[in-house]
Structure 1
């Protein structure tokens, strides 16, 4: 019988809103027993440092370099993870000795597959020593070294979720974080996946620049505006949408310049429409139309984005909660799952998800002792 691991997944997405944690018992294949989850928001000061690190990372030539604010940001990410994991264990009355593994994503500051470069900051070895639990981390590098895009990584977990649920296939998972990604799950084939557009990134950046808010809470601003079709057409003219799968994106791959002259409400409405249209533009690359589209990630909690997708999609659109899943926790659960697959040497990525030459495992393991 395959060993069941007790793992904690830790995810900090490109939205830079905070750390999501999730406890999962899994064999890295079909067994999924979900435990408690939690979200810990970053402070405004944390986000400011992380944004400066993303800006500095644009000039990186080597993934191990940490010039300017990158060193401070890496120390911050490591320290925040130590704090929140300790709090999570205490809050949920979980003994650290009973946890086999932490799956640590770190904070992505640069993802440029065209340069063979992806950078996630966070010190996995220091995290393992300090919390006293083995840590699997740096889960993207091996895929890139083997010719892949290094993203998305979550599709193998999406497949496990769909198969465990008995959902009617084919099914499309759409995760809307700072970048949107999608996974097509159908019977007896490897998942098909790609990054599918700007997700929340442009909208979050617009709200921060114009209002000081870190997001369009409840989609209120976008829902009060009108889509500017000319600006939307300009956004959709980006060459990324004509590129075949698989493919992946950096958070800053798109520009919001086409909405710069619009009011706050109309600009937000147009960027929401762009998020939806960008995702749906990728349906033409799939072998068949999905029976259903399942939304997860932060964007699944934005009514404006959900409505924009539902109005345009050729298939019913549902939120992860409709299946008893937690849309906010799925990526953290995924990194617990991926960590277990990593230590078992099971594939994390496939030619159909990242373009890697063959199914590939990956990750580094830091021992607690």
Structure 2
């Protein structure tokens, strides 16, 4: 980028829960949050969800992937076109498959097409470089979480939990100067979050979600299933570590014998128990867990977290941040870091050998001449 000072960046996120596309503007120099701008949300239609869902687990060139990418690109251009005044954009795309053990990850959507449509530089393909260098490629929001901790002037270690399709947890020591500093962060995927609950609701009741956790709140948790879930190998691995949304699909079949309410309650408890198990890896205890993502709207989920965690559990709005837009803001922040040549992941967040930058920048043809 020619400009060296702060940028207004538009970030986007389309998560594995398939609600829709979040978009939010952020003013940043890639190190500090300087201002928050407007945000918007563009839901997917049910037909669009089905097109993307049919491509889950698939890699480039497989059947259905092109159609899914077209849905993702169209939805992103629609919502991003509502904004003005941004100098570049961060486009995460839609994760269809994630297999870091095999050195590959797949986010559908071409940032070059968006750059032409918006006539603005677009940073995208954030995960591939990390995975190719031996990292997990996820989670990527922790460097932004560190900036959030600085923004709210936190002084003691705290944790930020994102409950999307999969849960991911960031432990932060805000006393350190930068996210790549040794000991500043520890981050990893905790386990399932909304994805299996949403799948249950769709398969059994033809609903998109357990709104507010009402069904789970009326059911009884099968604690034996919760403990059996936690006995799986993933929960004994030392972080950093990451998951695909379908990694535990075989286990979920064990909930088939449960009633709708009991299955929802048990899957909700599994998500919360996975977080509590993950907290055992924290380098130092935290006094508060700040929750972001759609799962914080689920009262049963928040109650389970409160019961299972040894610290205060709060929605991130309690400290003045926007839990619906935090991931979109994160990819605005990461786009700025790419533009300024700063690292976007490190050993304690993805397990990559050294702090590295990810992402590529696509510029519209008119700006590339």
Deviation at residue 66 of structure 1 after TM alignment:
2.4
* 1:171 maps onto 2:158 in alignment: yes
Of 349-358 and 250-259, more deviation after overlay is shown by 250-259
Question: Quick check: 1:49–1:69 contact (8 Å CA) kept in 2?
Answer: yes
Equivalences for 1:153-164 in 2 at 5 Å? 153-164=140-151
Deviation at residue 191 of structure 1 after TM alignment:
1.1
Distance 2:253 2:45 in 1: 28
Distance 1:203 1:237 in 2: 20
Deviation at residue 228 of structure 1 after TM alignment:
0.9
SS of residue paired to 2:358: coil
Deviation at residue 133 of structure 1 after TM alignment:
1.1
SS of residue paired to 1:351: coil
Q: 1:262 aligns with which of 258, 264, 276?
A: 258
Q: 1:82 aligns with which of 60, 65, 77?
A: 77
Deviation at residue 293 of structure 1 after TM alignment:
0.3
Normalized against structure 1, the TM-score is what? 0.94
Distance 1:5 1:292 in 2: 31
Deviation at residue 234 of structure 1 after TM alignment:
2.1
Question: Quick check: 1:75–1:123 contact (8 Å CA) kept in 2?
Answer: no
Equivalences for 1:183-202 in 2 at 5 Å? 183-186=170-173, 187-188=175-176, 189-202=183-196
Normalized against structure 2, the TM-score is what? 0.94
Equivalent residue for 2:106?
119
Equivalent residue for 2:64?
69
Equivalent residue for 1:11?
13
Deviation at residue 246 of structure 1 after TM alignment:
0.7
* 1:296 maps onto 2:292 in alignment: yes
Point out where structure 1 has 5 or more consecutive residues left out of the alignment.
none
Distance 2:33 2:348 in 1: 23
Equivalent residue for 1:216?
210
Distance 1:47 1:316 in 2: 35
Equivalent residue for 2:168?
181
For residues 30-65 of structure 1, the C-alpha deviation after alignment (integer angstroms, 9 at most, x for no partner) is 13300111111100001101110104x1xx4xxxx2
Distance 1:312 1:85 in 2: 39
SS of residue paired to 1:107: strand
Deviation at residue 190 of structure 1 after TM alignment:
2.6
Question: Quick check: 1:235–1:274 contact (8 Å CA) kept in 2?
Answer: yes
* 1:206 maps onto 2:193 in alignment: no
Question: Quick check: 2:343–2:355 contact (8 Å CA) kept in 1?
Answer: yes
Equivalent residue for 2:312?
316
* 1:110 maps onto 2:97 in alignment: yes
Equivalent residue for 1:249?
243
SS of residue paired to 2:304: helix
Of 77-86 and 120-129, more deviation after overlay is shown by 77-86
Equivalences for 1:123-138 in 2 at 5 Å? 123-138=110-125
Distance 2:40 2:74 in 1: 17
Question: Quick check: 2:161–2:289 contact (8 Å CA) kept in 1?
Answer: yes
For residues 180-212 of structure 1, the C-alpha deviation after alignment (integer angstroms, 9 at most, x for no partner) is 001000122331100111011111111110001
Question: Quick check: 1:294–1:320 contact (8 Å CA) kept in 2?
Answer: yes
Question: Quick check: 1:235–1:258 contact (8 Å CA) kept in 2?
Answer: no
SS of residue paired to 1:260: helix
Question: Quick check: 1:276–1:305 contact (8 Å CA) kept in 2?
Answer: yes
Q: 1:33 aligns with which of 32, 35, 39?
A: 35
Distance 2:111 2:95 in 1: 14
Distance 1:353 1:283 in 2: 15
Question: Quick check: 2:40–2:79 contact (8 Å CA) kept in 1?
Answer: no
Question: Quick check: 2:8–2:86 contact (8 Å CA) kept in 1?
Answer: yes
Structure 1 residue ranges (4+ consecutive) displaced by more than 6 angstroms after TM superposition: none
Distance 1:313 1:113 in 2: 29
Task: Give aligned pairs, total.
Answer: 354
Deviation at residue 2 of structure 1 after TM alignment:
5.5
Equivalent residue for 2:180?
none
Equivalent residue for 2:49?
47
Distance 2:264 2:34 in 1: 38
Deviation at residue 117 of structure 1 after TM alignment:
1.1
Equivalent residue for 2:179?
none
